[in-house]
A and B are shown apart, each in its own frame.
Chain A
Amino acid sequence: MKIVVCIKQVPDAKDVRLDPETNTLARAGVESIMNPYDRHALEEGVRLAGEQGGTVTVLSMGPPQAQEVLREAVACGADEAVLVSDRAFAGADTWATTHTLAQAIMTVGGADLVLCGKQAIDGDTAQVGPGLAERLGYPYATCVKKLLGCAEGTLRLERMMDDGYDVLEVGLPALLTVVKEINQPRLPSLKGKMKAKKLEIKTLSAADIDADPGQIGLPGSPTQVVRVFSPQARGERTIFQGSVDEQVEQLARELEKSN
């Protein structure tokens, strides 16, 4: 079984904070990390490849610096790493991203199973997985919380819904997006770290993947950001004063007023 795991390098959201004074982003040394959901996708891929026999290729679209997360993925058990990187990809929205990733997957010979995280913690769109599946012509399931089994080219799984979960069957090739409940990701092994250090990461440009210039980067993105701003500071704020009893009294009145 050939498994491709899509991994994005993202700024660590817990370091990204709003400066309450200036209302701008205070960015004291924001670190780049592997998108947390993608770590779970990787773990599931490595586990499944081990169980079924197969290989795991990790794929990322990003600047050269995204090599770091690919190496980390190899240290955690991936066999191969592919980086699609080109200045022409900058500013891609999810439509352009899915074109690029789909072309890259076809360039490396397709896949039996593509795994993505539920969403990337920078954009939080959760659109790349389903969009990529459609580009590839694969069926898919989002928010997968458990793989129940894989037999004769059919996967059985549980997908989360708002009101519970569905048990689903899907034939390969397919794409899944996963949530963190699905597994507990392993740490890099020593052997993996050695391998990651030596591994040559295959780097593909827009031309290498035969990308449609009209569907990549900012010019190929149907959505355009016209304004970026800090969230409105909330209106009036009160910290109640006085004894605990007095504060409780003020809060109770407030609650009774609005409830």
Chain B
Amino acid sequence: MLKIDAEACIGCGLCEQACTFAAIRVEEGVAVVGDNCTLCGACVEVCEAGALNIPREAGKEPIDLSSWSGIWVYAEYRRERLAPVALELLGAGRRLADKRGVELAAVLIGPGDLDQAAAELIAHGADRVFAAADPSLAEFSDDSYGNILADLIRRHQPEIVLAGATALGRSFIPRVATMLAAGLTADCTELDIRAEDGALLQTRPAFGGNIMATIVCPRTRPQMATVRPMVMKPLDRNEKRRGEIVRVEPELSQLDSRTRVLESVAADLDRVNLAEADVVVAGGRGLENAEGFALVSRLAETLGGAVAASRAAVDSGWIPYPHQVGQTGKTVAPKIYIACGISGAIQHLVGMQSAETIIAINRDPDAPIFNVATHGIVGDVFEVIPKLIERLEKSR
């Protein structure tokens, strides 16, 4: 329950503004809370009078946290390839492990010979790699992948387990967390260690990126998080790094899957490129039609980047859905994102606002896209883009 100290409340209304649920209101000079309060804490954070408080009940007896040690990364491996996010997580994991003074391990699950992938993980920072191989693991299964990872965690008791917030990670990691009765934070964009007690501080966007929340798991272990791809920085590859490869033989019962993959269809490379591209050029309704949209593709080609689109452009049929960026499309975090003729609706912004540099080209100076843009040109896409292409080609 949210506690309101009526004496301390000054009726300023900051809480009312901060509440996304319209659950708190100032009535006759005092804040009152309604039934739909979710205890998110946004109001407590903004209250300048210190009148709001969410008392934390003691809860269950804390488990013995001291037996849990070490930081683990689930290293996604599919179609004989490590997902880039696996190396990014090792970069982040290394930093956390050094802060905690503990070991950094990676878990590899897949078919066939995993030695080369394991060596790659060691070169990118892992002290130890658990490699669980079996031919049946060629196809991803929530059951077998989850059983293997949960079993390893039970046996070795790492304090932190990180995985990529990819389709695969977000599918089976919640099952693992539930099997272990562990807290899990989705799609984090920032990780740190709290100095007082070594707890993992997990920061993530919520409400479509409108607010950021920092989350901890004070009473349970392991502390689990999925982490957004392209946000963390991998370490440089270093062949000299030493590490141990531990081969794990999954038990037959662990390999049992209640789902069966009949066929696994790979999409065109274009789609894969979008999430991993350093440069993304995106077009929106401002391109007016399919021919106009072709300008975006030409600019992308000139820069060696991938093509993306707002939902308006996808709905108009100028480009297929796999290119859509935003809440109902992909999340991308390239080095450079160029938004052409895109207004910057919140549903679009959540898919691209963690890009390092955002460039907006829009003829409306008040378009919300300029609020998140690093650099902007207020101008007509049909004039700016061709000139930009010409200028870039000249300096080649």
Q: Does B associate with A? A: yes
Closest chain B CB from A7 CB (angstroms): 15
Partner of B272, one of A141, A162, A240: A162
A229 x B211 contact (CB < 8 A): yes
B175 x A164 contact (CB < 8 A): no
> Counting CB contacts under 8 A, is A224 at the interface?
yes
Partner of A218, one of B57, B174, B213: B57
A222 x B347 contact (CB < 8 A): no
A-chain residues with CB within 8 Å of residue B35 when the two chains form the complex: 63-65, 87
> Counting CB contacts under 8 A, is A13 at the interface?
yes
> Counting CB contacts under 8 A, is A184 at the interface?
no
Partner of B19, one of A27, A160, A218, A249: A27
| Dominant secondary structure of chain A at its interface with chain B | mixed
A223 x B217 contact (CB < 8 A): yes
B-chain residues with CB within 8 Å of residue A26 when the two chains form the complex: 17
> Counting CB contacts under 8 A, is B32 at the interface?
no
A123-B206, A134-B179, A167-B265 are contacts. A17–B346 as well, Cβ < 8 Å?
Answer: yes
Per-position 1/0 for A135-163, Cβ under 8 A of B:
10001111100000000000010001111
| Segment among B107-115, B124-132, B368-376 that sits at the interface with chain A | B368-376
Closest chain A CB from B351 CB (angstroms): 11
> Counting CB contacts under 8 A, is B178 at the interface?
yes
| Cα distance, A164 to B263, chains bound together (Å) | 11
B258 x A139 contact (CB < 8 A): yes
Chain A residue, CB-CB nearest to B359 = A251
B-chain residues with CB within 8 Å of residue A247 when the two chains form the complex: 377, 379, 384
A219 x B210 contact (CB < 8 A): no
Q: Which among A65, A135, A249, A258 has the highest number of chain B CB atoms within 10 Å?
A: A258
> Counting CB contacts under 8 A, is A48 at the interface?
no
| Cα distance, A252 to B261, chains bound together (Å) | 47
B-chain residues with CB within 8 Å of residue A20 when the two chains form the complex: 371
A-chain residues with CB within 8 Å of residue B78 when the two chains form the complex: 161, 163
| Dominant secondary structure of chain B at its interface with chain A | mixed
B-chain residues with CB within 8 Å of residue A17 when the two chains form the complex: 210, 346
Closest chain A CB from B82 CB (angstroms): 13
A130 x B336 contact (CB < 8 A): no
A222-B220, A258-B335 are contacts. A238–B20 as well, Cβ < 8 Å?
Answer: no
> Counting CB contacts under 8 A, is B151 at the interface?
no
Closest chain B CB from A12 CB (angstroms): 10
A14-B346, A228-B42 are contacts. A252–B388 as well, Cβ < 8 Å?
Answer: yes
Closest chain B CB from A37 CB (angstroms): 9
B387 x A245 contact (CB < 8 A): yes
B-chain residues with CB within 8 Å of residue A171 when the two chains form the complex: 258
A-chain residues with CB within 8 Å of residue B14 when the two chains form the complex: 24
A-chain residues with CB within 8 Å of residue B177 when the two chains form the complex: 95, 127, 131
* Given A167-B261, A219-B58, 6 additional A-B pairs, CB 8 A: A24-B18, A161-B264, A219-B59, A225-B41, A245-B387, A259-B336
Complex A-B: 21 CB contacts under 8 Å: A13-B327, A16-B207, A17-B346, A26-B17, A32-B36, A87-B1, A90-B38, A95-B177, A131-B174, A131-B177, A134-B178, A164-B265, A165-B267, A169-B260, A224-B215, A227-B41, A231-B212, A244-B377, A244-B387, A252-B391, A258-B357
